[in-house]
């Protein structure tokens, strides 16, 4: 799944908002700053960090 799609499915962001926060370098994937929302994430092992906490897969 793409990172921007995952963030929008959390209900915290629209897809457009997710793209904006990613572009602003406010999202980390496994500790690394993400610069592109098109990056594919692994639902079994990746950890996504945002300013307000950690997102998990459910």
**Residue-range domain boundaries for the chain:** 3-53
pLDDT at 54: 64
pLDDT at 11: 87
Q: What topology is assigned to 3-53 in CATH? A: 3.10.290
Token output for 24? 């602003």
Q: How far apart are alpha carbons 44 and 34 in whole angstroms?
A: 18
Q: What's the number of CA atoms in the CB half-sphere (13 Å) around residue 15?
A: 4
pLDDT at 56: 60
pLDDT average per 10 residues of sequence, the chain (58 residues):
92 90 93 95 89 60
State the sign of the Cα–Cα–Cα–Cα dihedral 4, 8, 14, 15: positive
Q: How far apart are alpha carbons 16 and 43 in whole angstroms?
A: 21
């Amino acid at each position: 799944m793409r990172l921007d799609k995952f963030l929008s499915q959390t209900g915290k962001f629209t897809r457009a908002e997710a793209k904006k926060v990613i572009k602003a370098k406010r999202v980390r994937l496994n500790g690394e700053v993400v610069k592109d929302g098109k990056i594919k994430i692994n639902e079994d092992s990746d950890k996504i960090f945002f300013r307000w906490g950690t997102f998990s897969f459910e």
